[in-house]
Chain A
Amino acid sequence: MANLACEFIGIKSINPFWLASAPPTDKAYNVVRAFEAGWGGVVWKTLGEDPAPINVSSRYGAHYGQNRQVLGFNNIELITDRPLQINLDEITQVKKDWPDRVIIVSLMVPCEEEAWKNILPLVEATGADGIELNFGCPHGMPERGMGAAVGQVPKYIEMVTRWCKQYCSLPVIVKLTPNITDVRKPAAAAMRGGADAVSLINTINSITSVNLDTMSPEPSVDGKGTHGGYCGSAVKPIALSMVSEIARDPETANLPISGIGGISNWRDAAEFISLGATNVQVCTAAMLYGFKIIDDLCDGLSDWMDQKGYKNINDFSRMAIPNTTDWKHLNMNYKRIAHIDQDICIGCGRCFAACEDTSHQSILQTGDLGDRKYTIIDEECVGCNLCEITCPEPNAIKMVDIDTGKPHLSWLHHPENPYREEK
């Protein structure tokens, strides 16, 4: 059986699954239930200075798919709304009771040295394993000069990280906001400040929907709404890309990453790890299905590792990085085309509409009602994947590699590139 135990910036964890700083980790009651269920660690819901903020009623919104499946989720909650001391006491107790589980304390105080100098010793005294700096919260807190307001300015990140390393001996993880142009800049700033790791992504600015009767954005608070932080499986592709960018950049390549963003099952987790994360944090999936999903995360990951012959997490971590590259290095002589399996095709014509209207007119429609047949015109197909993507039947359309017999040729060296480099 594959071993899921792993180490992240010197912190040992029984598995790579931590609950992200969010409502599931707001108090001892939840955290203990999570540990009982089998989670490896938690990042405690962000602590701040007293008095604790007050939350509004009506806090979450959702972006639904068909059949009410939640694709994306957003929230307008603030950091913990409980007094600091209660949180500190609970953290101390839970860590004492669960020595083999990780507790990281998330922090957000004003961007002043004194504020950090005051709170850090209190956190260190709890026995927690590390701290995570919440520079990412996109709603409410930035209006008060915290959260994403700091995370969007690399020099502030560097400064606060340095204070943390100065006033506390715990490992420091900097949580990055995706609400910026180039995520490598804040990551590099965190590194300069001495951060032990970064975690990403925090939530994305979002309005999930507008109620067309009341004309209020959701979630609606007494008829008014505001942008909230978007998360859930819809954000996974954005998070994966940002994680890979930091992992690929020579400047930040050695900076450990805790991957966050829409991780809902073991597959998502494996993908984050293959693209450079050392462990992962989960929130929305737990909020939608409860802590028990840890069973699928752990068993699924270990079953897959067994199948592939990976003994531990390190065996496949970063394995997709060498295959993640810039567009200019992709092979322009590679060719694939679509193939429609007539035995599986149900004749809905979605591929035809997509290709005919919006792509390359590479599909032929023949036959009459009840006997419609769609076939690919091989010479026209550019291998864009659109038909395969629109097809409702898995396996009805397969993309097949065509041997062009030509050598690897990237744009960088392409004869039509006026700025080509000679090999």
Chain B
Amino acid sequence: MSFTHDIKSNRLLDVVINENFSDIAPPLSDKQVLVASERCLFCYDAPCITACPTGIDIPLFIRKINTGNNHGAAKEILSANILGGSCARVCPTETLCEQVCVRNKHEEKPVEIGRLQRYAVDHLDPAQPYPFTRAKSTGKHIAIVGAGPAGLSCAHQLACDGHQVTIFEAADKSGGLNEYGIALYKLVDDFAQTEIEFVLKIGGIDIQYQKALGRDISLAQLRENYDAVFLGIGMSDVNALNIPGEQYPGVEDAVAYIEDLRQETQLSNLPVGRRVIVIGAGMTAVDIAVQSKKLGAQDVTIVYRRDKSAMGASQHEQDLAQQNGATFICNAQPKEIIGDESGITEMVFNKTETDDNGKLVVTDNLISLPCDVVFKAIGQKFESSPLGNNSDKPALDQRGRIAVNDNFQTSLNDVYAGGDCINGKDLVVEAVDHGNKAALAIHQQLKQIINQGE
């Protein structure tokens, strides 16, 4: 039958797809920047600074833009957050800096911090010297595993402090999820790679590609050969639905699909289902739903087992999904996927209710939805096997991620960790913050060792 397993490429013309995947929030014009920057009140003890995980001095960089000092504004941002360019594009600002902007109170519209940040970083003057310099060499050498946002920010800070850094990266490109995971329309024009080039200009950072911890190198080796180790390996596993039918073709891991999408040079080549179900309610669920629509899927339905108020995706993201034509079904828990070795046709759910105590109750009422593709976007999981199997490995926390103290130090005192592989909000900006702070702690620790040696 022609309407079962309707998965095919070329659902839309290339020109249409390329237009669909263009920059979702294009750069502000000079005039828009003038108006937007005027709105910043230069608040005292500004709430936005506290809300930004990397503590960028937002009012100050906006004032610098407003007085015509774009280069200075960019320096201000990058000195707190070396990935300020990608954060400006991918941060869910509506739940971070912009959420607490005092302009929301009577005007219901915050200062456009993210977009102003992008403007500033885009206007860093290339004719000026690189804005960061390296301290005198300390003679110390640090190994970093993972060239994602956490690893890169840690590396940059350590390089500034005069240390030598080697990054071991399993993939053949750096950037982590900035390269492989972020929705394409948020980071266009290969921005992740442009930004990494800028980060590496500091010098003293060597990246070794296709070197995976646990496969090509072991933690014990790194600890033996380097003065400290930072783990920024993210989460490489995904949660399973654990229901019948999950093994059939057509049931896909959303993150893996996005990874293929991000690396595809001709998007119309990608296989796209006609009727797509997305299971989940977070950022990844919205991203895969929107990207499926943009690739030409006819029906995209996001199904979530709780009610709408419990969704991980912010209102802004939910609106984005809806504007792009995705629909939501709430209070439906996956029960079974109907299909066979050739593909899937239908997915069955139990309706759920929330009782007076806020507990989710699964009812016997069933609903079923026709589908060609089901995307699983119910969360990623930390994969601990790269850490090794001997007793000499960092302890994990209750959620199964690497346990760290306030200094991002693991149970092994020369091993630090940050980003998605430790417990947190799983955002790029937070990974940058972890990398910064871990670098500071590593620097302090090594300085002590250097001082003792003198």
Which of B69-77, B111-119, B151-159, B416-424 makes up part of the contact surface?
Answer: B69-77
Let me know if B68 and A393 touch, CB within 8 A. Answer: no
Let me know if A394 and B63 touch, CB within 8 A. Answer: no
Let me know if B30 and A304 touch, CB within 8 A. Answer: no
Let me know if B68 and A267 touch, CB within 8 A. Answer: yes
Give the complex CA separation of A309 and B68 in angstroms.
Answer: 17
For A394, give its contact among B30, B44, B125 (CB under 8 Å).
Answer: B30
Let me know if A307 and B71 touch, CB within 8 A. Answer: yes
Let me know if B30 and A299 touch, CB within 8 A. Answer: no
For B68, what are the chain A residues with a Cβ–Cβ distance below 8 Å? 267
**A356 interface contact, C-beta 8 A:** no
The 3 A-B residue pairs with the shortest CB-CB distance in the complex, in nearest-first order: A303-B72, A265-B67, A300-B69
For B72, what are the chain A residues with a Cβ–Cβ distance below 8 Å? 299-300, 303
**A306 interface contact, C-beta 8 A:** yes
Let me know if B69 and A292 touch, CB within 8 A. Answer: no
**A327 interface contact, C-beta 8 A:** no
Let me know if A299 and B44 touch, CB within 8 A. Answer: no
B248 nearest CB across to chain A (Å):
55
A67-B38, A267-B67, A299-B72 provided; 18 other pairs, C-beta below 8 A? A267-B68, A290-B42, A292-B42, A292-B60, A295-B57, A295-B60, A296-B60, A296-B67, A296-B69, A299-B64, A299-B76, A300-B69, A300-B72, A303-B72, A303-B75, A306-B128, A394-B30, A395-B30
Give the complex CA separation of A394 and B68 in angstroms.
Answer: 13
Give the complex CA separation of A201 and B296 in angstroms.
Answer: 67
A265 nearest CB across to chain B (Å):
4
Binding site for A on B (CB under 8 A): 30-31, 34, 38, 42, 44, 57, 60, 63-64, 67-69, 71-72, 75-76, 125, 128
A288 nearest CB across to chain B (Å):
9
List 20 A-B residue pairs with CB atoms under 8 Å apart, sorted by A's residue number: A67-B38, A265-B63, A266-B69, A289-B42, A290-B42, A292-B60, A293-B42, A295-B57, A296-B69, A299-B64, A299-B75, A299-B76, A300-B64, A300-B67, A300-B69, A303-B75, A306-B128, A307-B125, A394-B30, A394-B34
1/0 per residue A377-419: CB within 8 Å of B? Answer: 0000000000000000111000000000000000000000000
- Look across to chain B and name the residue whose beta carbon is closest to the beta carbon of A300: B69
For B60, what are the chain A residues with a Cβ–Cβ distance below 8 Å? 292, 295-296
Most-contacted residue by chain A among B63, B71, B75, B76 (CB, 10 A): B63
Known contacts A67-B38, A307-B125, A393-B31; decide if A293 and B63 are in contact (CB<8 Å): yes
Give the complex CA separation of A393 and B32 in angstroms.
Answer: 10
Interface residues of A in 242-294 (CB under 8 A from B): 265-267, 289-290, 292-293
Interface residues of A in 296-317 (CB under 8 A from B): 296, 299-300, 303-304, 306-307
Most-contacted residue by chain B among A266, A300, A394 (CB, 10 A): A300
A392 nearest CB across to chain B (Å):
9
For A293, what are the chain B residues with a Cβ–Cβ distance below 8 Å? 42, 63
Give the complex CA separation of A299 and B68 in angstroms.
Answer: 12
A295 nearest CB across to chain B (Å):
6
**Number of CB contacts from chain A to chain B under 8 A:** 46
- Look across to chain A and name the residue whose beta carbon is closest to the beta carbon of B44: A290
A47 nearest CB across to chain B (Å):
29
- Look across to chain B and name the residue whose beta carbon is closest to the beta carbon of A295: B60
Q: From DSSP, what is the main secondary structure of chain A's interface residues? A: helix
Give the complex CA separation of A191 and B68 in angstroms.
Answer: 38
Most-contacted residue by chain B among A296, A303, A393, A395 (CB, 10 A): A296
For B44, what are the chain A residues with a Cβ–Cβ distance below 8 Å? 290, 292
Binding site for B on A (CB under 8 A): 67, 69, 265-267, 289-290, 292-293, 295-296, 299-300, 303-304, 306-307, 393-395
Let me know if A307 and B128 touch, CB within 8 A. Answer: yes
Give the complex CA separation of A306 and B67 in angstroms.
Answer: 16
Give the complex CA separation of A265 and B37 in angstroms.
Answer: 15
For A304, what are the chain B residues with a Cβ–Cβ distance below 8 Å? 69
For A295, what are the chain B residues with a Cβ–Cβ distance below 8 Å? 57, 60
Let me know if B42 and A299 touch, CB within 8 A. Answer: no
Known contacts A296-B60, A296-B63; decide if A303 and B69 are in contact (CB<8 Å): yes
Known contacts A267-B67, A296-B64; decide if A394 and B31 are in contact (CB<8 Å): yes
Give the complex CA separation of A394 and B66 in angstroms.
Answer: 14
A206 nearest CB across to chain B (Å):
25
- Look across to chain A and name the residue whose beta carbon is closest to the beta carbon of B59: A292
For B125, what are the chain A residues with a Cβ–Cβ distance below 8 Å? 307
For B57, what are the chain A residues with a Cβ–Cβ distance below 8 Å? 295
For B128, what are the chain A residues with a Cβ–Cβ distance below 8 Å? 306-307
- Look across to chain B and name the residue whose beta carbon is closest to the beta carbon of A264: B67
- Look across to chain B and name the residue whose beta carbon is closest to the beta carbon of A290: B44
Give the complex CA separation of A208 and B146 in angstroms.
Answer: 61
For B67, give its contact among A69, A266, A307, A394 (CB under 8 Å).
Answer: A266
- Look across to chain A and name the residue whose beta carbon is closest to the beta carbon of B129: A306
A285 nearest CB across to chain B (Å):
10
For B64, what are the chain A residues with a Cβ–Cβ distance below 8 Å? 296, 299-300
B102 nearest CB across to chain A (Å):
14
For B67, what are the chain A residues with a Cβ–Cβ distance below 8 Å? 265-267, 296, 300
For B69, what are the chain A residues with a Cβ–Cβ distance below 8 Å? 266, 296, 299-300, 303-304
B440 nearest CB across to chain A (Å):
22
Give the complex CA separation of A303 and B42 in angstroms.
Answer: 20
Give the complex CA separation of A393 and B31 in angstroms.
Answer: 7
Give the complex CA separation of A300 and B76 in angstroms.
Answer: 11
Give the complex CA separation of A290 and B44 in angstroms.
Answer: 8
Give the complex CA separation of A29 and B34 in angstroms.
Answer: 36
- Look across to chain A and name the residue whose beta carbon is closest to the beta carbon of B46: A292
Give the complex CA separation of A295 and B57 in angstroms.
Answer: 11
Give the complex CA separation of A296 and B67 in angstroms.
Answer: 9
For B31, what are the chain A residues with a Cβ–Cβ distance below 8 Å? 393-394
Most-contacted residue by chain A among B30, B57, B64 (CB, 10 A): B64
Give the complex CA separation of A292 and B125 in angstroms.
Answer: 25
Give the complex CA separation of A339 and B68 in angstroms.
Answer: 24
Give the complex CA separation of A267 and B72 in angstroms.
Answer: 13
A350 nearest CB across to chain B (Å):
15
For A67, what are the chain B residues with a Cβ–Cβ distance below 8 Å? 38
Give the complex CA separation of A67 and B40 in angstroms.
Answer: 12
- Look across to chain B and name the residue whose beta carbon is closest to the beta carbon of A299: B72
For A290, what are the chain B residues with a Cβ–Cβ distance below 8 Å? 42, 44
Give the complex CA separation of A114 and B48 in angstroms.
Answer: 56
For B71, give its contact among A289, A303, A393, A395 (CB under 8 Å).
Answer: A303
Give the complex CA separation of A267 and B65 in angstroms.
Answer: 12
For A266, what are the chain B residues with a Cβ–Cβ distance below 8 Å? 67, 69
For A394, what are the chain B residues with a Cβ–Cβ distance below 8 Å? 30-31, 34
For A303, what are the chain B residues with a Cβ–Cβ distance below 8 Å? 69, 71-72, 75
Give the complex CA separation of A116 and B42 in angstroms.
Answer: 42
For A296, what are the chain B residues with a Cβ–Cβ distance below 8 Å? 60, 63-64, 67, 69
Give the complex CA separation of A265 and B128 in angstroms.
Answer: 22
For A395, what are the chain B residues with a Cβ–Cβ distance below 8 Å? 30
For B76, what are the chain A residues with a Cβ–Cβ distance below 8 Å? 299
For B30, what are the chain A residues with a Cβ–Cβ distance below 8 Å? 394-395
Give the complex CA separation of A340 and B34 in angstroms.
Answer: 20
B19 nearest CB across to chain A (Å):
22
B22 nearest CB across to chain A (Å):
21
Give the complex CA separation of A58 and B453 in angstroms.
Answer: 64
Give the complex CA separation of A295 and B67 in angstroms.
Answer: 12
Give the complex CA separation of A307 and B70 in angstroms.
Answer: 12
